[in-house]
Amino acid sequence: MEGQSEVSVVLNGLRLVIHDRRPAYGTLFTRVGCYTDAIIPRTYRLDLREPTRVFPIPGTFDAPVPGTHQPPVAFPLKVSRSGPEVLDLMVGDVAGDCLWTAELDWTVAGESSQTQIDDNGNPFHASAAPSI
């Protein structure tokens, strides 16, 4: 996420939207990483079970200084052209087979809106591991 100017954009929160949920059908999917060398991502674990939840987890960027305790960074976050953020969304828990997107709530200059996060216009796909 990067602002269009030096005016800060406040990222207020992230919501998960379930588009379809079915019983798991026994296929395993692997995680596909999209990373940049310039910015270390802030990591969030997604729980796609009902009710859906988003948990910030410590990542490399949020790693505490040895001997200190630093909690993971939660919303709100500020971004701008010179202070971008990369959000790494990792599905941690899923019930069945699920199609989902996320909605990022943001505010800039007193105006609030949201941006849908999807897979090139399609929902993301997650599935529980098959029973063994």
Report pTM. Answer: 0.76
83-132 pLDDT tens trace: 888 888 888 888 888 999 999 999 999 999 999 999 999 999 888 876 55
Q: How many CA atoms lie within 13 A of 109 on its CB side?
A: 6
Q: Is residue 1 part of a domain?
A: no
Output the CA torsion 58→59→64→66 (10° steps).
120
Q: Is residue 109 part of a domain?
A: yes
Q: How many domains does the chain have?
A: 1
Q: Is residue 3 part of a domain?
A: no
Among 24, 51, 32, residue whose Cα is nearest residue 132 = 24
Q: Is 51 exposed, middle or buried (0-12, 13-18, 19+ CB in 10 A)?
A: exposed
Average pLDDT, the chain: 79
Q: How far is 75 from 73, CA to CA, in rounded Å?
A: 7
Residue 80: pLDDT above 90? no
Please say whether the beta carbons of 131 and 96 come within 8 A: no
Output the CA torsion 50→52→56→59 (10° steps).
80
Q: Is residue 69 part of a domain?
A: yes
Domain carrying residue 44: 9-127
